[in-house]
């Protein structure tokens, strides 16, 4: 028995062959080409939902006749896809102009849409990336259940490929960040061994807090790198200040307060770490707004900065310096608790105190 798809000249067995072939050599472009052919549509495309828009990321067919191209964005509230996800339209619309709700959308006339199909693209963790769609200028009265099943299978393939590529980019980005951070730490240690060792200890504590707060892998890595490079701006400070054995003068403190800005400037120039520049700049901001250089307060301060700040302060308190002895551990913890909600983010301070308590 033959089971027909939208195009009466194509069979379900042909669709299964396409799926089998695609599974052996997966690609988004091949999947879209198969969708277009199996459903007999003029165009097939994958979109991403971003900032309230539907962005066309991959297209197979001739999009010019529909009035869009790769990278084109439409407000979500003007799309069939949003209505489909809300349950207000069917996944398959064989005759768009005969559907009162679909025909009312401006895209119907603007793009001359006769038939439309759409299913969501979801990653393995349930996150919605966007949609897999197919459209035609003509009606497709034979669009039916079998076509929807094929479309869902191809959507799974496309989503898997998108997720795999996203993961690969993430890994490459993390590797680039690690390389850049390592080079910066080496530069700091070559000039000031204390600062380099201190940053390593701060990073260990900061990662422990990030994990305790349930941050995801990329956020934990960002916290680690901010902690490692939070004092990178000190490379711009004179040795007379950086290595001064006694207390600093008011004028010298003014120079010290500029090092987060110098750090931000340096980090902005590094592609692997540029997204952390604002967090590096804000690492000495206080929860109550009394920090520097911008007087940020509360959640205006990036979370990575707040975590690093409390770890930075604690490690400074329990370390010997040339001009003072380290505080006893119980006293340092007491001062952390006293500063929670004023100097330190209470969430970050509580997490560190819990970690220190074992």
Q: What are the residue numbers of the active site? A: 234
Q: Is 70 helix (H, G, I), strand (E, B) or coil?
A: coil
Residues in the chain, overall count? 358
- Reference 226, options 166, 180, 170, 291; nearest CA is 180
**Alpha-helix residue ranges (DSSP H) falling in 91-132:** 100-103, 106-111
For the chain, give the longest Cα–Cα distance: 91
Instruction: Dump the DSSP string for 258-317.
Output: THHHHHHHHHHT-TTTGGGHHHHHTTT--TTS--SSS---GGGS-HHHHHHHHHHHHHHH
Distance, CA of 309 to CA of 304 (rounded, Å): 9
Q: Which residues pair with 128 in a beta bridge?
A: 122
User: Quick check: 117 and 80 in contact, CB under 8 A?
Assistant: no
Report phi then psi at 119, rounded to 5.
-135, 155
């Amino acid at each position: 028995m033959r089971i027909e798809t939208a195009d009466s000249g194509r069979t379900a067995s042909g669709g299964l062959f396409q799926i089998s072939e695609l599974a052996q050599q997966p690609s988004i472009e091949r999947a879209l080409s198969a969708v277009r052919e199996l459903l007999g549509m003029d165009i097939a495309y994958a979109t991403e939902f971003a900032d309230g828009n539907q962005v066309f990321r991959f297209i197979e067919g001739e999009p010019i006749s529909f009035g869009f191209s790769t990278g084109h964005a439409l407000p979500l509230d003007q799309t069939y896809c949003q209505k489909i996800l809300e349950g207000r339209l069917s996944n398959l619309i064989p005759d768009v102009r005969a559907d009162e709700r679909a025909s009312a959308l401006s895209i119907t006339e603007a793009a001359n849409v006769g038939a439309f199909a759409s299913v969501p693209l979801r990653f393995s963790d349930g996150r919605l990336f966007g949609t897999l769609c197919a459209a035609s200028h003509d009606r497709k009265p034979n669009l039916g259940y079998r076509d929807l099943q094929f479309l869902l299978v191809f959507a799974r393939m496309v989503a898997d490929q998108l997720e795999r590529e996203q993961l690969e980019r993430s890994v490459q980005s993390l590797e680039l960040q690690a390389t850049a951070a390592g080079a910066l730490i080496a530069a700091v240690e070559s000039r000031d061994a204390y600062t380099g060792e201190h940053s390593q200890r701060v990073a260990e504590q900061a990662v422990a807090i990030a994990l305790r707060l349930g941050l995801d892998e990329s956020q934990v890595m960002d916290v680690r790198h901010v902690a490692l490079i939070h004092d990178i701006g000190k490379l711009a400070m004179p040795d007379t200040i950086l290595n001064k054995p006694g207390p600093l003068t008011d004028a010298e403190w003014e120079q010290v307060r500029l090092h987060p800005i110098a750090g931000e400037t340096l980090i902005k120039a590094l592609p692997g770490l540029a997204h952390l520049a604002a967090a590096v700049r804000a690492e000495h901001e206080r929860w109550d707004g009394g920090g520097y250089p911008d007087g940020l307060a509360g959640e205006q301060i990036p979370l990575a900065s707040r975590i690093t700040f409390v770890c930075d302060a604690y490690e400074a308190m329990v370390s010997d310096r040339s001009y003072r002895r380290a505080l006893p551990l119980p006293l340092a913890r007491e001062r952390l608790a006293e500063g929670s909600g004023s100097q330190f983010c209470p969430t970050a301070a509580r997490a560190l105190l819990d970690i220190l308590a074992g």
